[in-house]
Structure 1
Amino acid sequence: MIPVLQPLPLRRQRDYRLLLSARAVSETGTEVSRLAVPLTAATLLGASPAQMGVLAAATSLPYLLIGLQAGAVADRMKRHRPVMVGCEVISAVAMATIPLAWITGLLNVAWLIAVAFIVGSCAVIFRAMNFPHMTAVVHESQRTEALAGFQSAYSLATVSGPGLAGLLVQLITAPFAIIVNAASFLASAFLIRSIKAPEAHTPAPPRGMWTEIREGLRAVLEQPTLRALAGCGMTINFFASAYLALFVIYALNVLGLPGGLLGALTAFAGVGGLLGAAITPRLVRRFGENRLLVYAVLLFPIDFVAAALASGPVWAKFLLMSASTLITGMAIVAFSVCFGAVVLREGPADLLGRINATMTFTIQGVLALGGLAGGLLGELLGLRPVLWICAAGIMLTIPWIWLSPLRRTSAQQAG
C-alpha cells in the first residue's frame, strides 16, 4: 500500500507565509485608512452625513458594477498572480494622491470618493483572483486552517492598524497618515510577486460573458446552502454598512468619544477576531463548520444594540462597547472562516471563481446600498434611531441560517 504524503504544516510553507504576510501588511495599511479617510472627510473637509454615506458606499460600489464580470474572467485565466500584483500597485498610487492633493489644496470630499472607488475596484478584481489562486498555494486538507490564518492577519491588522492610525493622525494629520496604506499596498505586491507555487488552474473555455455569469448565479441560487449563505451575508453587510457609515459621526458627536478611543474600539474588534481565528479550527474539528455558523449568527446583534444603548460617562460607554465589540469580533471571524470553507466544499471546482464572484457581488455589493441608506436615514431620522434600525435588521441573519440545510445538518451531526 502506497503511503499518502501529508503536506507540510502551513507555518513551514514558504508560499503560504508570503501570501499571509501580504494580506497582513495590506490589511494593516487599510485599517489606517479606514480611520484616517473618514476623519479627513468629517473633521478637515466638513462632510455631511449624506456625503459620509456616499464615501462609505464608493468602496463597495464596484462590487455591483464589475463583481460578476471579475469572477468570469478569473475562471478563464490560467495565472491569477500577476493581476493581483497589478491591483495592489494601482491601489498604492491612488492612495498616495490623497496627501499630495492635501498639500496642493485640491483635496475635497469628491476626491476621497474617487480614490475610494478606484481602490474598491482593485479590491474586487483582487478578491476574484485570490480565491482560485489560494487553491494553488494551499492543499485542500488545509484550507479551513488557511482561511483562519487569513482571518488572524485581518484581526491583527484591526488591533495594530487603529492604534497606528491614531498615532499618525496626531503626529502628521489624517491625510498624511494615509501614505502608510500606499506603502502597504506596494509591500503586498512585492510579497505576492515572490510566491513561486505553480498556478495549475485549468481555464474555463469562454462561452460568452453573460452565459458564464449566469452559470455562477445559478450555482448559488439553486444550491440551498450557498443561497442561505449569500442571503445571510447580504443582510449582515447591508445593516453593518449603514451602521458604519454613521458610526464615526455618532461616536464623536453623540457619544462624545475622543478619536483615540475610536481606534481602541476597532482594536478590541481585532482582539476578538484573533481569539476567534485561534479557536475556530479547533471548534471546527469538534463541531463542524455548519454548527459554528448556526451559533455565530446569534451573537451578531450584540454590538449594534450596545452602541444604540450607550449612555452615561465616557468610561462606561467605552467599556460597554469594548465588550460588545470583542464578542462580535470573535463571532464574525468564526462565521467568515466557516463561510469560506463551506463555499469551497459545496462549490464545483470549475465554478469557484464565478461562485466567489457571485457571493462577492451580492454580499459586498449591498455595502454600497447600506452606506447610502445609512447616510440618508441619518439625515432624516437622526443618528441613534438608525442604529436601532440596524440592530433590528441584523437579527434577520438568524432565520437565513436556522431555516437552511446548515442547521438541519448540524443537528444531525450533534445527534
Structure 2
Amino acid sequence: MFQPAPLRRQRDYRLLLSARAVSEAGTEVSRLAVPLVAATLLGASPAQMGVLTAAASLPCLLIGLPAGTLADRARWHRPTMVTCEAISAVAVATIPLVWIAGLLSVPWLIAVTFVVGACSVIFRTFNFPHLTSVVHESQRTQALAGFQSAYSLASVGGPGLAGALVQIFTAPFAMLVNVVSFLASAFLIQGIRAPETHTPAEPRGMWTEIREGLTAVAGHRVLRALCGAGIAINFFGSAYMALFVIYAVKALDLPAGMIGALTAFFGAGGLLGAAVAVRLAPRIGENRMLVYAVLLFPLDFVVAALASGPVWAKFALMSASTLITGMAVVAFSVCFGSVVLRETSDTIRGRVNATMTFAIQGVMALGGLAGGLLGEFLGLRPVLWLCAAGVLVTIPVIWLSPLRTSGRESEAQARSVSP
C-alpha cells in the first residue's frame, strides 16, 4: 500500500500552506484598516458602512455558482489562483495611491472590497479541487486542518498586528501589508510543481452545469445535511456577531481590550480544533467528528446570553466558551471539507464546493441584516437566545443524517456523486 511522505516534508503542500497563511495574515490587516478608513477618514454613514460590509460577501451570491462550473471545466487551476491574488494586490494598492491623490471615497472602498471579495470566491473555488492534485487522498483531512490552523493563527495575531500598523503608518498605508501578502501568495503558488491531474468536465451550458451542482448537493443526503448545518451556523452566527460588540459594550460593560481578547480566544480554539481533528479523525472517522462537534455549537451563544455578574467573571466564562466553540467549529470545518472531497467525483467537485459556498457563505449577509433588525425590535439579549435556539437546529440536521447512522462510512462512500 502506498504511503505518502508526511505533509511537512512535501514541498508543494508547504508552498500552498504558506501562501494561504501569508494571504490570510495580510487580509486581517485590511479587515480592520478598510472600515477605519471609511469611518474615521471619510466620514462614512451607517448605511455606507453596511454596504461596505456587504460588498465582501456579495460576490458569493453573484458569482459563486458560475465559478464552480468554471473550476470543473478548467484543466489547470493554479494559473487562475495566481491571477486572483495578483488582481487583489493591485486593487488594494490603489487605496493608498488614491488617498495620496486626494480622490479616495467610500464608493472606491466599496469597489475595491467587492473586487477582492470576487477574487477570493474564485480563488477558493479553484483551490478546493486543486488540493487533490497536491495532497494524497489519505492526507486530505490533515491538509485541511493545516489551512484551518493558518486561518486561526491569522485571527489570533492579525488584529494585534493590524492595530499596530494602523497606529504607526495610518490605515491607508497599513494596507500595503495586504498588497505584499497577496503578491507573496501568488509567488508561492507559482512555485508549486505538482502536476494537475484534474479531468475537465465537458461543457454542456453554464446553467445546466450549475443546476447539476445544485442537484448534486440537494439530492445527496450527506451533502444536504452538511449544507443545512453550515447554513444554520452561519446565519445565526452572523446575526450574533452583528450585535455582539454592542451587546458586550452596553449590556456586559466589557472593555475593548477584553472584546478583542475574545476574538483571539476563538482563534486559539481553532488551532486546538485543527489539532484535534488531525489526531481523532483517523481513529473515529470524520463522520463521528462532525456528529460530536455540533453538540458544542450552541455553547457560546448560551453563555453570552446568560452572562452576568462581575466583569472578570463574565470575561472568564465567555473566554472558556469561545475557546471551546472555536475548537468545535474548526474541527467541524476540517472534517466538513474532507467529507465533501470524499463524497464527490472529480468532474463535479468544483460545482459542489461552489454550491456549498454560495449557500453557506452567502447566507451570512442575510444573517447579519436579520440580527440588526431583530435587535432593534426585540432587544439584544432576546436575539442572542433566538440565535442559540437557531444553532440547535444543526444537531438534528447532522444526527438524523447518514453521518451518524453509518459511523466512519457514509451511504455514498462507495459511489461518489457524479452528474
Same structural fold, with TM-score higher than 0.5 when normalized by the shorter chain: yes
Moved more, 300-309 or 397-406: 300-309
Aligned residue number for residue 188 of structure 1: 185
Q: Which one of the candidate residues 389, 393, 397 is aligned to 1:396? A: 393
Aligned residue number for residue 285 of structure 1: 282
Instruction: Report the CA distance shift for 1:314/1:176 in structure 2 as closer, same or farther (over 3 A).
Output: farther
2:198 and 2:346 in contact (8 A); partners too: no
1:57 and 1:371 in contact (8 A); partners too: no
Separation in structure 1 between the aligned mates of residue 200 and residue 283 of structure 2, nearest angstrom = 36
> Where does 1:14-413 land on structure 2 (aligned, <5 Å)?
14-42=11-39, 51-104=48-101, 106-252=103-249, 254-410=251-407
State the Cα distance separating 1:33 from its structure 2 match.
2.7
Instruction: Report the CA distance shift for 1:41/1:229 in structure 2 as closer, same or farther (over 3 A).
Output: same
Q: Which amino acid aligns with 1:292?
A: M
Moved more, 237-246 or 191-200: 237-246
Q: Which amino acid aligns with 2:324?
A: I
TM-score of the pair, normalised by structure 2: 0.90
Q: For residues 83-116 of structure 1, give each alpha carbon's deviation from its aligned partner in whole angstroms, at most 9, with x where no partner exists.
A: 1011111112222333445555554544433322
Separation in structure 2 between the aligned mates of residue 408 and residue 362 of structure 1, nearest angstrom = 25
1:229 and 1:339 in contact (8 A); partners too: yes
Separation in structure 1 between the aligned mates of residue 312 and residue 166 of structure 2, nearest angstrom = 22
Separation in structure 2 between the aligned mates of residue 42 and residue 56 of structure 1, nearest angstrom = 12
Separation in structure 2 between the aligned mates of residue 387 and residue 18 of structure 1, nearest angstrom = 41
What's the Cα RMSD here?
Answer: 2.4
2:72 and 2:200 in contact (8 A); partners too: yes
State the Cα distance separating 1:169 from its structure 2 match.
3.2
Q: Which amino acid aligns with 2:154?
A: A
Please list every run of 5 or more consecutive structure 1 residues that lacks an aligned counterpart in the other structure. Answer: none
Instruction: Report the CA distance shift for 1:328/1:73 in structure 2 as closer, same or farther (over 3 A).
Output: same
Instruction: Report the CA distance shift for 1:99/1:317 in structure 2 as closer, same or farther (over 3 A).
Output: farther
State the Cα distance separating 1:393 from its structure 2 match.
1.7
Moved more, 253-262 or 219-228: 253-262
1:305 and 1:388 in contact (8 A); partners too: yes
Q: Which amino acid aligns with 2:281?
A: V
Q: Which amino acid aligns with 1:145?
A: Q
1:229 and 1:401 in contact (8 A); partners too: yes
Instruction: Report the CA distance shift for 1:332/1:165 in structure 2 as closer, same or farther (over 3 A).
Output: same
Instruction: Report the CA distance shift for 1:176/1:301 in structure 2 as closer, same or farther (over 3 A).
Output: farther
Separation in structure 2 between the aligned mates of residue 37 and residue 359 of structure 1, nearest angstrom = 28
Please list every run of 5 or more consecutive structure 2 residues that lacks an aligned counterpart in the other structure. Answer: 411-419
Instruction: Report the CA distance shift for 1:374/1:96 in structure 2 as closer, same or farther (over 3 A).
Output: farther
Instruction: Report the CA distance shift for 1:378/1:175 in structure 2 as closer, same or farther (over 3 A).
Output: farther
TM-score of the pair, normalised by structure 1: 0.91
2:305 and 2:384 in contact (8 A); partners too: yes
Q: Which amino acid aligns with 2:121?
A: V
Moved more, 278-287 or 40-49: 40-49
Q: Which amino acid aligns with 1:115?
A: V
Q: Secondary structure at the match of 1:191?
A: helix
Q: For residues 289-311 of structure 1, give each alpha carbon's deviation from its aligned partner in whole angstroms, at most 9, with x where no partner exists.
A: 11111111111122223333444
Q: Secondary structure at the match of 1:195?
A: coil
State the Cα distance separating 1:337 from its structure 2 match.
0.8
Structure having greater relative contact order (Cα 8 Å, sep ≥ 6): 1
Q: For residues 151-170 of structure 1, give each alpha carbon's deviation from its aligned partner in whole angstroms, at most 9, with x where no partner exists.
A: 11111111211221232233
Q: Secondary structure at the match of 2:406?
A: helix
State the Cα distance separating 1:265 from its structure 2 match.
2.1
Q: Which amino acid aligns with 2:226?
A: L
Instruction: Report the CA distance shift for 1:41/1:254 in structure 2 as closer, same or farther (over 3 A).
Output: farther
1:74 and 1:128 in contact (8 A); partners too: yes
Separation in structure 1 between the aligned mates of residue 182 and residue 9 of structure 2, nearest angstrom = 25
State the Cα distance separating 1:171 from its structure 2 match.
2.9
2:287 and 2:409 in contact (8 A); partners too: no
2:269 and 2:327 in contact (8 A); partners too: yes
